[in-house]
Amino acid sequence: MGAQSPGPAKLHSSVGDTPTRLDSDSSCAQSYGACAMSARDSVSTAPRLGAAGYERFVTGVAPFVLATAGFVAVVISHLIDFGSDNLRIGLLDADSDASWSHHLIAALLVVATALALASAWRSRDHRGLWAVVTGILAFIAVDELSSLHTQVDQMAWGKALYAPILLVLGISLWRLAARRPRGWVLRVGVAVLFVSFGIHVFGPHIVHALGYGTDSWPYQVKVAFKQGTELAGWLLVLMALWSLLPSRSPSR
C-alpha cells in the first residue's frame, strides 16, 4: 500500500497549532510591552525619589549633623586650649569674644535675622509672628556683635534679663513651627537654645557651690557645653528658618 495522506483530524491538529503559536507570540509581545512600560516608569520615578530623599536629608538630617559637629568642635577646641595652654589662644577660648564660635554664632544670627525678615515680607498668614521674630533676632545679633552682653554678664544674675526676650522668641518660633513638615527641627533648635541659656544662667552658681573655681576642669566643661549647645541651637534654628521660608510674596 502507498503512503497515506493525513486524515482530517491530523490536518485540523496541524492547522490548530497556528492560533496557539499566535496566542503565545501575542502574550510575549504584551509581556514585553508591560516590562518596557514598567522600566520607563522606574526610570521616570527614580529622579523623583532621589530628589525627595535629598530634600529629606537636607531638611531633616543635615541640620542635626551640622549641629552635632558644631557642638563637638566647640567642646574639643575649648578643652584643648584650657588643658594645653590655659586658655591663651583666644580663637579657641569659647568664653572669649575673639573665639571662632562666637564669630560664627554672630554670623548665624545675622543670616537668621535676614531670613526672618524675608519670611515676614512674603508671609500671608503669620506676618506678625515673623515680625516679632525678626525684631528679637536683630536685637540678639546686635547684642552679640557689641559689648552689651559682656557688661550684662558681669552682673550676678544679669543673664536672667534675657529670659523674657528669649521666652517670647521661643513661643513665636514654636507657633511658626506648628503644622509644618520640618517644624520639629525648629522646635528642637529652640529647646537646645533654652538648655544653653539654662547652663549660662545657673551653671556658674552650681559649679561655685560645688567648690570649683573658674580655673577648674568642671567650670571649663560648663563653658564648653554652654557655647557648644548655643552654636548647635542656632544652627538648627537657621536651617529650619531656611526650610520654612515662604516661596511666594503676598499679593498686593
Residue 23 lies in a domain: no
What are the pLDDT digits (tens) for 135-150?
A: 999 999 999 998 787 7
Which pTM was predicted? 0.75
What are the pLDDT digits (tens) for 44-94?
A: 444 554 655 655 656 568 899 999 999 999 999 999 999 998 899 999 999
Residue 168 lies in a domain: yes
In this prediction, residue 47 carries a pLDDT of 52
Residue 19 lies in a domain: no
Q: Higher model confidence: residue 226 or residue 32?
A: 226
Residue 11 lies in a domain: no
Query: Nearest to residue 163, comparing CAs of 204, 209, 200, 205?
Result: 200
Rounded Cα distance between 159 and 242, Å, is 29
The DSSP output letter for 59 is: I
Residue 41 lies in a domain: no
Rounded Cα distance between 173 and 201, Å, is 22
Residue 179 lies in a domain: yes
Evaluate if residue 99 carries a pLDDT over 70.
yes
Residue 249 lies in a domain: no
- DSSP E strands: which ranges in the chain? none
Say how many domains are in the chain: 1
Residue 15 lies in a domain: no
Range of the domain at 113: 63-244
